[in-house]
């Protein structure tokens, strides 16, 4: 190493970005070597600082080259550090959103899902990324970035999202599949501007209660009066097996659309044999301000 090389790395370790920027192109090669060097300890913060400086210096090709040569190492600690640096590089390359970078991001995602890489795919809004984004919806770390990417696609994403929400569903369904389907259905509800809700209505009978509740909330104000009664009855039926969080969600839907659900609520309240369900229905009526209903005499 030359004295200048050592000095640049000292500046990097000290976090002296302004001094590094003053070195201009002379800093690029030492920073590149540091970025590409293995770090068995798994520590990644200093390498991520190198990524920031390289991006600020406009060293796009260095960062793209790193993305093009992802490393798989046996040690999980070292691999965690590599993944963190890969995320930083992917985010830095968002400064240069071109076809070459897009292809590199897709190639990395085909090998391994990383939240920074999924985030970097988001601005492109391309349907070619749907398989990656679909897989990312099942991952707690990657889901927010994947949801943002689908939102950028707009209504174009709706057929894919509905397909994801509806299945096919494995039996037994793993939790990752449930998370993906729930997210896809919520996104569909945000983005869809059409009038045909039949496919969503079929999901009100879904075996996953959270998918069913989301489908009910989407369909209730948009389907015929006959189907509205069916949906309201389904929501009331879901009360019994729901956990407290889902019960609150069901209650919110019934309160929001109380005028559409009142007849079904009152009928079930009058004949309720489950004390817990009866209590939840009374609470729903109270929140909705339905004092004039028959529930008033049952409170």
- C-beta atoms surrounding 181 within 10 Å: 25
Q: Does residue 80 sit within a domain?
A: yes
In a domain, 32, yes or no: yes
Angle, helix 99-111 to helix 60-68, in steps of 10 degrees: 30
Q: Determine, yes or no, domain membership for 204.
A: no
**Is 218 contained in some domain?**
no
Give how many domains the chain has, as a whole number.
1
Domain extent at residue 25: 1-101
pLDDT digits (tens), the chain, 299 positions = 455 878 888 888 888 888 888 888 888 999 999 999 888 888 899 999 999 999 999 999 999 999 999 888 889 999 999 999 999 999 999 999 999 999 999 999 989 999 999 999 988 988 899 999 999 999 999 999 999 999 999 999 999 999 999 988 888 999 999 999 999 999 999 999 998 999 999 999 999 999 999 999 999 999 999 999 999 999 999 998 899 999 999 999 999 999 999 999 999 888 777 788 889 899 999 998 854 444 444 44
How far, in Å, are 106, 163, 242 from residue 117 at the CA level?
A: 8, 24, 36
pLDDT at 3 (0 to 100): 53
Q: Could you tell me if residue 264 is inside a domain?
A: no
For residue 207, the 8-state DSSP code is S
Do the domain assignments include residue 19? Answer: yes
* Alpha carbon distance 295, 285 (integer Å): 7
Model pLDDT, residue 299: 43
3-class secondary structure, 294: helix
End-to-end CA distance of the chain: 82
Is 57 domain-assigned?
Answer: yes
Cα separation, 299 vs 291, whole angstroms: 10
214 within some domain: no
What pLDDT is recorded for position 120? 95
Q: By the 8 A CB rule, do 134 and 181 touch?
A: no
């Amino acid at each position: 190493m030359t004295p200048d090389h050592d000095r640049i790395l000292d500046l990097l370790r000290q976090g002296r970005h302004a001094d590094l920027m003053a070195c201009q192109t002379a800093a690029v090669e030492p920073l590149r070597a540091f970025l590409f060097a293995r770090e068995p300890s798994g520590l990644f913060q200093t390498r991520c600082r190198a990524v920031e400086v390289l991006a600020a210096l406009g060293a796009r090709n260095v960062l793209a080259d790193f993305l093009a040569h992802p490393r798989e190492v046996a040690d999980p600690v070292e691999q965690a550090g590599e993944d963190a640096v890969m995320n930083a590089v992917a985010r830095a390359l968002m400064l240069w959103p071109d076809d070459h970078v897009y292809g590199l991001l897709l190639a990395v995602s085909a090998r391994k899902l990383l939240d920074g890489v999924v985030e970097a795919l988001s601005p492109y809004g391309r349907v070619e990324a749907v398989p990656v984004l679909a897989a990312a919806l099942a991952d707690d770390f990657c889901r927010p970035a994947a949801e943002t990417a689908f939102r950028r696609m707009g209504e174009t994403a709706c057929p894919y999202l509905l397909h994801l929400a509806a299945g096919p569903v494995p039996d037994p369904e793993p939790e990752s599949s449930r998370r993906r389907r729930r997210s896809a259905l919520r996104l569909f509800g945000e983005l869809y501007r059409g009038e045909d809700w039949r496919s969503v209505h079929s999901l009100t009978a879904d075996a996953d209660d959270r998918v069913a509740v989301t489908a009910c909330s989407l369909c209730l104000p948009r389907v015929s009066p006959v189907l509205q009664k069916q949906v309201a009855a389904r929501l009331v039926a879901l009360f019994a097996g729901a956990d407290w969080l889902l019960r609150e969600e069901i209650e919110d839907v019934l309160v929001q659309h109380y005028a559409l659900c009142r007849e079904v609520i009152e009928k079930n309240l009058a004949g309720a044999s489950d004390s817990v369900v009866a209590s939840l229905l009374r609470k729903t009526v109270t929140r909705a301000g339905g004092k004039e209903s028959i529930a008033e005499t049952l409170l």
